[in-house]
Amino acid sequence: MIPRGPVVGQPGRADRVERALRGGGEATVTPTAQRRDARRSRERLLAAAAELFAERGYAGTSLRAVAERAGVDAALVARYYGGKDGLYRAVLAADPVVSPVVEEDDEGDVVDVVDDDETRRRAADELAGLLARTVDRWENSPATTVSQNVFRCDLDDAARAATAERVGERVLPLLRAAAEPPGGPDSELRAELATVILLGITVARTAGTLPALAAADPEELGVYARALLDAVLGCR
Amino acid sequence: MIPRGPVVGQPGRADRVERALRGGGEATVTPTAQRRDARRSRERLLAAAAELFAERGYAGTSLRAVAERAGVDAALVARYYGGKDGLYRAVLAADPVVSPVVEEDDEGDVVDVVDDDETRRRAADELAGLLARTVDRWENSPATTVSQNVFRCDLDDAARAATAERVGERVLPLLRAAAEPPGGPDSELRAELATVILLGITVARTAGTLPALAAADPEELGVYARALLDAVLGCR
DNA sequence: GTATGATGTCATCGCACGATGACATCGCCG
DNA sequence: CGGCGATGTCATCGTGCGATGACATCATAC
């Protein structure tokens, strides 16, 4: 194709109608209604990237596809995340791994905690909660990128480290605390084996290669998962 | 770059010295010594592809890299396998998933069998054998492509079907036979859960994101795996 | 009203990839 | 010897990708 110079009159055609419609009611709260909202663009890019990286992997996901799903121009990835790598890192950093613990504190705010100090005391309760959240993910949501990454052998060092960090924050503490005897010789190995069980079921279910697993009732699956966790963690 | 026509005198410089050296001793058995051996080229391509697909995944593996590792020209992939897809399918079809059963029959030939008829009768032995072969893989070899694919969510339908077929041939029959009661209501689900445990440990170990799992002694890991298989399959 | 920084859009660059076909070389058969 | 099919080699094509910078548009400050 022959290179053309800039074209006048075409770009950025100032959708005043749409803008008037969308920005209508909330002028004082958010003067910048829909368009020209950097935070919104960043968040939409992050959400679209989280979906696509989980569905198609890093190499299989193009920035153009992410931008299209986000309804945003692909060049904004470079502006807000520095490039594909930065976007991927942001996705890993925001990955919940398992469904967040949603509790309301005294003021009614929603908080998401994996309480590291009290875990040992309430180990049994916490384990049951983790299992419930995992079963919840089996019901509703596909496996996240971090969960999948635990079983991916093609990660570079940075991605592997970020994955390990997220699993270490979100999953391992509870399982470590539930391993009996606490602090025993193999407690770390047993916690990681429990991770393989929980996340392995999650990921294999999303992958869909094992038909009975993909079709199984999540509650029934939870019963088996509980038995397996007890077997490896030594709870009874 | 300006297109150039064919260059005379350069290509195919007839390494007579190397050929004479390598083909030296076995003229009658294999007249075509090293060069010009289609079978060898095919096999080297397949072996290199199996390594690289397992290390870097499908999208992360280039045909040029496969050809380089195989010591072969990249165009031969098209000739012998029709393209990248065909090469990948060939790798899946040849994937042993777990280390092959090596037995010697009466004539001393080496055979690799997963005996489907006798499995039920010898279920316990077979399960122990499968576990031993899996532990052996933990000692020596990285997880194969099929094993990894059980936990990959970015497969197309053909790759998923091929993966399911290989797992169904090589792993599931033994675990199905070991599920108690045999043919019970959840035997299929339990066999698939056992697959997730065995292959999940294998793949996560190769992935290297969980440090204690990656560093664990294979024999000790085998003890835990055995307990988990017993828990889900109902053997005791 | 105008200057300025923030935000969004577009065209294009260079690169790596898979695929392809033309051509060279070899071994064999008559 | 001469033809021919099998095998190997090379150059190149088209494509899609990530990255980049020039430019347009908007919101706000003054």
**What percentage of chain B reaches a pLDDT higher than 90?**
64
pLDDT interval class at B189 (50, 70, 90): very high
Cβ–Cβ < 8 Å for B117, A169 = no
A103-104 and B110-111 as β-strands: parallel, antiparallel, unpaired? unpaired
Between these two residues, B95 and A19, which has the higher pLDDT value?
Answer: B95
Residue B11 pLDDT exceeds 50: no
Mean pLDDT of chain A: 82
Of A96, A101, A208, A82, the C-alpha closest to A145 is A96
Using the CB atom, is residue B64 less than 7 Å from strand D?
no
**Is B54 in Cβ contact with A204 (below 8 Å)?**
no
Residue A179 pLDDT exceeds 70: yes
Q: Residue range A87-116: average pLDDT?
A: 75
Low-confidence winner among A115-119, A178-182, B72-76, B150-154 (lowest mean pLDDT): A115-119
Closest CB from A142, A192, A208 relative to B213: A192
Would residue B82 be called left, alpha or beta, if left means φ above 0 and alpha means ψ between -120 and 50 degrees?
left
Nearest CA in chain A to B146: A209
Q: Residue range A6-14: average pLDDT?
A: 35
> E strands along A97-176, which residues?
103-104, 110-111
pLDDT attached to residue A180:
76
Mean pLDDT of chain B: 82
Cβ–Cβ < 8 Å for B204, A151 = yes
Between these two residues, A99 and B128, which has the higher pLDDT value?
Answer: B128
Q: Which pair of tokens denotes residue A99?
A: 């469904």
CA–C1' B155–D16 (A): 20
> What whole-number distance in Å separates Cα of residue A195 and Cα of residue A198?
5
Helices (H), strands (E): how many in chain A?
12, 2
pLDDT attached to residue B235:
65
Using the CB atom, is residue B41 less than 7 Å from strand D?
yes
Between these two residues, B108 and B155, which has the higher pLDDT value?
Answer: B155
Residue B25 pLDDT exceeds 70: no
What is residue A98's three-state secondary structure? Answer: coil
Would an 8 Å CB–CB cutoff place A146 in contact with chain B?
no
> What whole-number distance in Å separates Cα of residue B72 and Cα of residue B78?
12
Of A65, A61, A86, the C-alpha closest to A74 is A65
What is residue B50's three-state secondary structure? Answer: helix
Low-confidence winner among A4-8, A173-177, B145-149 (lowest mean pLDDT): A4-8
> What whole-number distance in Å separates Cα of residue A42 and Cα of residue A38?
6
Most confident stretch, A110-119, B179-188, B201-210: B201-210
> What whole-number distance in Å separates Cα of residue A109 and Cα of residue A48?
26
Helices (H), strands (E): how many in chain B?
12, 2
Low-confidence winner among A195-204, B75-84, B108-117 (lowest mean pLDDT): B108-117
Angle of helix A84-93 relative to helix A157-170, nearest 10 degrees, comes to 20
**Neighbour-count burial of A70, counting CB atoms closer than 10 A to its CB (0-12 exposed, 13-18 middle, 19+ buried):** buried
What residues of B are in contact with residue A57 (Cβ under 8 Å)?
57, 59, 152-154
Could you tell me the sign of the dihedral formed by the alpha carbons of B186, B193, A179, A120, in that order? negative
**Is B154 in Cβ contact with A56 (below 8 Å)?**
yes
Distance, CA of A143 to chain centre: 8
Q: What is the pLDDT of residues B160-177, one digit of tens each?
A: 999 999 999 999 999 998
